[in-house]
Structure 1
Amino acid sequence: MTHSSPTATTLHTLAQPADLPALDKVLHQPELKPCIQQYGLTLVTQQLRELLAHLRTQALSQQLPLAKVTADHIIEQLLAKLEQITRSELKTVINLTGTVLHTNLGRALLPDSAVQAVAQVLTQPTNLEFDLNTGKRGDRDTLVEALICDLTEAEAATVVNNNAAAVLLMLSALAPQKDVIVSRGELVEIGGSFRIPDIMSSAGSTLKEVGTTNRTHYADYERAIGEQTAMLMKVHCSNYAVVGFTKETALSQLVTLGQQHHIPVTMDLGSGTLVDLAQWGLPHEPTVKEILQSGVDLVTFSGDKLLGGPQAGFIVGRKILIDKIKKHPLKRALRVGKLTMAALESVLALYRSPEYLPERLTTLSLLTREQSDIAQQAKQLQPSLQQAVGQDFEVSCEPMYSQIGSGAMPVESLPSFGLVIRYLGQAKASRHIMQLERKLRTQPLPIIGRIHKDALYLDCRCLSEQHAHTLNTRWSTIQL
């Protein structure tokens, strides 16, 4: 079959390059004045030039309808493009996954007091590194060090930008070109492919594995000690559990061994909590104070997990070792800024009154929510969500289990409640559920749930009253 050239009628309905308006003519349209005031002449001109170039290419290839080259139509496309490119990529989402400390969703939510503290230092000069008593340059760690030491009973402390940085700095400062002994069963990998062996290699330390995956004895550590040994290191397996035929050397034994050979014993505690969570009905997790009281020389842990603060990494313990760590060049590269310091000081201050933590610390408030309270919220949302998804789906209120997340107590679960959406049609359910999950995820205010056994689960544990009201209103007026 041969292809004929465009007919005269077709050519008449297609735009030619000459039909496109000049850039200056479009810019001077009265309708574009508010747009220029909002986005600025530079950006508007740049995007308009790119749009006209694209339309010209379409016209040359005879793919541009004549109706699409009017000034009104071009301005409409321009506004849509400007809105798209200026839209923030970092969006607020509604976490209905059931994971409280969700790494991909930003982990711990800051309490109001921390938000106010950050807002204050955003627009005002601060004494970040200025000693108000001496009038000389100060050390930013001093802003929170005394508070950390008071809460953990450590001799000294330093703060970096996350726990991986804390481990890296500790190894770089105390064990360069030296051996660090670790149980093979503790060579963990956590989210983002963070591996203990890789961190050691980056720090210039030599990993010396002892024991087996499931059993490591005191004698294994003892036999491994040599002239090049700089550290005995324990890693809290916070994001997995080994069960069955297992053996772990007691921390007290390792401390005794380290003291006998004058070798520091350190522990990467991972999540790290400052209070015994069991007092609120949660599983017990070793506290930083408990680990230090066992005689461990240094402990590293995170700020944005169980502690409930901003992203940060702590190194606490013996002053002589902390002082050496602070002098290492990496310390400056890994330090935190004033926003983190402001949030951190505010969150740590809440721990001075632990009896108020469930009400004042957002993370603990979410972890201790009553199932009955969550159930009531889910039941209020069910009718409007059912209306939004239509008759092809069934929305039911059901009990379910949340998890703490971010590697904290992986085998523990929290009784919760939420909404479960199932497909009622004859076609393959998984495809329709995945499409619905995507629709919720790509809303202006994204809603993140989880798919399990061809059903979409929306756990309401982390749903605020404000967002619940927003969802109820929106679902009552839209069709998903």
Structure 2
Amino acid sequence: MTAPDESVVHGSKAPDKAAPKELPALDKLLRDCAPLVIEHGHTLVAREARALLDALRSRAVAGELLRAELSGLARTLATRVQARMQPAMRAVLNLTGTVIHTNLGRSLLADAALQQVLALTGSPNNLEFDLDTGGRGDRDDLIEDLLCELTGAEAATVVNNNAAAVLLGIAALARGREAIVSRGELVEIGGAFRMPDVMSAAGATLVEVGTTNRTHPRDYEQALTPRTGLIVKVHTSNYQVQGFTSSVDEATLAPIARRAGVPLMTDLGSGALVDMAALGLPAEPMPQQMLAAGCDVVTFSGDKLLGGPQAGLIVGSREAVGRIRKFPMKRALRLSKLPFAALEATLRLYLRPERLVQDLPTLRLLTRSQAQIAALAQRLLPDMAAALAPRFTVETVVLQSQIGSGSLPVERLPSAGLAINPVDGKGRTLEALAIALRGLPRPVIGRLNEQRLLLDLRCLEEPALLTAQLPALKDALA
């Protein structure tokens, strides 16, 4: 009896399967890819070639490698090298409806800030060099006068984010002493920044006063002792207590702090430098107001409502800011030259308040009208519907955007966008669409809500960035 065809029994020996010995040697593959080596250098290409051949060899031993795959090794290697050189941090389209999105980089930088960063990081600069004296300078000198002019402060300094500003302020003013905070302001932000833990890390002893929902001036007065080093107010930007509540504002606290001879520090977080209500947005406390109310130190973020890079800004009295600037921890938390350049350029835009909504992307996006956004949704509807048919239907919808990053958490901005519904009604079909959108050259990030995918168009200023990718999306879903 004739033995069965070995190619049927053993797949690895089937005519269309490649054996390990058929794989080219590393040197031969590199010679075949000489232009790729010239472009990227031997080290990178050889490393990717070696990894590619190892993976193919494993598949060949398992009888899973097709001979047809060997004809395209040069293209496969080129694809691997190109993918290796792609940055992990990429520009995306934020269609979530959250304007200042923490996970998507928060505020967008203004053109002036981008140009300043390019100009100063590609060349030596006077970050810590005094052009007048020719001697060593202090980076704070480049920005202090500007911050003082905008806020009315006597002095100012900058660190790498607002959490650092709060930590540094408490450490410099209350290390080894007590710091008084209302129980209703012992916030947790971002899953790791917890006020009690920050107090401990700063070396201060936390003294809680009042209750979760009600704190009165007498609570602060009764907590004052010779060991008190600081009174801290924390703006509860990422949550809101409603109902039977009472808190003590900075104007009421300031004379209490002065009589006790201790500084008053307030953490605003969001960092609005203009009256948001005047722009038709929900009101947000400003550093100028807190300083006028009598605060010795005010801290706030650079990359939230201020519309600049990540930074922690500290403004206040000359004495208090001087102590903060001299504290040893300051150097470890200082701002580097890239965000420093962007922050200075952003702050200078505030010298022209009439142009802010035009020049500052964050304010421009926040103040877009619902009618303008709805008109954009109508224009995009036919192209989106065609790209997603027949598996999905698309309709225009009224939506509610939010400011984001803890700023005014319960406030909403009237917006509009597109709602995408799966024809089969299955959640996994919708998830597949979300994955396809994230896999585009310029990933598109929407939000899933009630068995539909919502694309809020408030932050889409260049529709072509979306429509140019629709053919690729259609192919991905085919």
* TM tier relative to shorter chain: over 0.9
* In structure 2, distance between residues paired with 1:391 and 1:231: 64
* In structure 2, distance between residues paired with 1:437 and 1:66: 35
Which residue in the other structure is 2:28 paired with? 25
- Give the drift of 1:477: 6.9
Deviations 1:347-403 (A, max 9, x none): 111111111111111111111111111111111111111011113322111111111
SS at 1:209 equivalent: strand
Which residue in the other structure is 1:211 paired with? 210
* In structure 1, distance between residues paired with 2:230 and 2:335: 26
Which residue in the other structure is 1:64 paired with? 65
The question of whether the paired residues in 2 share the 8 Å contact of 1:388 and 1:477 is answered with no
- Give the drift of 1:9: 7.9
Which residue in the other structure is 1:320 paired with? 319
Which residue in the other structure is 2:271 paired with? 272
Which deviates more, 370-379 or 144-153?
370-379
- Give the drift of 1:310: 0.7
Identity over the aligned pairs, expressed in percent?
50
- Give the drift of 1:36: 1.3
- Give the drift of 1:298: 0.3
Measured at CA, do residues 233 and 477 of structure 1 come closer, stay the same or move farther in structure 2, by a change above 3 Å?
closer
- Give the drift of 1:67: 4.1
Which deviates more, 190-199 or 469-478?
469-478
* In structure 2, distance between residues paired with 1:18 and 1:434: 42
* In structure 2, distance between residues paired with 1:455 and 1:327: 54
Measured at CA, do residues 394 and 19 of structure 1 come closer, stay the same or move farther in structure 2, by a change above 3 Å?
closer
The aligned runs of 1:44-123 (5 Å cut-off) are 44-68=45-69, 70=70, 72-123=71-122
Among candidates 432, 442, 445, match of residue 445 of structure 1: 442
Which residue in the other structure is 1:259 paired with? 258
Unaligned runs of 5+ in 1: none
Which deviates more, 379-388 or 81-90?
81-90
Which residue in the other structure is 2:133 paired with? 134
Measured at CA, do residues 189 and 375 of structure 1 come closer, stay the same or move farther in structure 2, by a change above 3 Å?
same
Deviations 1:155-186 (A, max 9, x none): 10000010001011111111112111100100
SS at 2:176 equivalent: coil
Which residue in the other structure is 2:329 paired with? 330
* In structure 1, distance between residues paired with 2:419 and 2:454: 5
- Give the drift of 1:66: 4.0
Which deviates more, 45-54 or 323-332?
45-54
* In structure 2, distance between residues paired with 1:96 and 1:125: 38
The aligned runs of 1:228-377 (5 Å cut-off) are 228-377=227-376
Which amino acid in the other structure matches residue 386 of structure 1?
A: A
* In structure 2, distance between residues paired with 1:271 and 1:131: 32
Q: Aligned-pair RMSD on alpha carbons?
A: 1.9
The aligned runs of 1:4-19 (5 Å cut-off) are 7=9, 11=13, 13=15, 14-19=17-22
SS at 1:348 equivalent: helix
Which deviates more, 470-479 or 446-455?
470-479
Which residue in the other structure is 1:149 paired with? 148
Measured at CA, do residues 433 and 478 of structure 1 come closer, stay the same or move farther in structure 2, by a change above 3 Å?
closer
Unaligned runs of 5+ in 2: none
Which residue in the other structure is 2:466 paired with? 471
Which residue in the other structure is 1:434 paired with? 431
The question of whether the paired residues in 2 share the 8 Å contact of 1:385 and 1:476 is answered with no
SS at 1:137 equivalent: coil
The question of whether the paired residues in 1 share the 8 Å contact of 2:99 and 2:459 is answered with yes
Deviations 1:292-312 (A, max 9, x none): 000011000000000011110
Measured at CA, do residues 475 and 63 of structure 1 come closer, stay the same or move farther in structure 2, by a change above 3 Å?
closer
Q: If the length of structure 2 is used for normalisation, what is the TM-score?
A: 0.94
- Give the drift of 1:19: 2.3
- Corresponding pairs, count: 470
Which residue in the other structure is 2:180 paired with? 181
Which amino acid in the other structure matches residue 435 of structure 1?
A: A
- Give the drift of 1:424: 2.9
* In structure 2, distance between residues paired with 1:361 and 1:340: 16
Which deviates more, 7-16 or 309-318?
7-16
Which amino acid in the other structure matches residue 26 of structure 2?
A: L
Q: If the length of structure 1 is used for normalisation, what is the TM-score?
A: 0.94
* In structure 1, distance between residues paired with 2:255 and 2:223: 15
SS at 1:107 equivalent: coil
Among candidates 451, 454, 460, match of residue 454 of structure 1: 451
Which residue in the other structure is 2:413 paired with? 414
Which deviates more, 433-442 or 132-141?
433-442
SS at 2:89 equivalent: coil
Which amino acid in the other structure matches residue 357 of structure 2?
A: P
Deviations 1:34-90 (A, max 9, x none): 21122211111111122222333333344434444x3x3322332222122221100
- Give the drift of 1:33: 2.2
* In structure 1, distance between residues paired with 2:230 and 2:10: 84
The question of whether the paired residues in 2 share the 8 Å contact of 1:189 and 1:196 is answered with yes
The question of whether the paired residues in 2 share the 8 Å contact of 1:166 and 1:300 is answered with yes
- Give the drift of 1:150: 0.4
* In structure 2, distance between residues paired with 1:10 and 1:139: 70
Which amino acid in the other structure matches residue 46 of structure 1?
A: R
* In structure 2, distance between residues paired with 1:306 and 1:12: 65
The question of whether the paired residues in 2 share the 8 Å contact of 1:181 and 1:210 is answered with yes
* In structure 2, distance between residues paired with 1:178 and 1:57: 64
Deviations 1:176-224 (A, max 9, x none): 1211110010011122432111211111111111111101111211121
- Give the drift of 1:446: 0.5
SS at 1:232 equivalent: strand
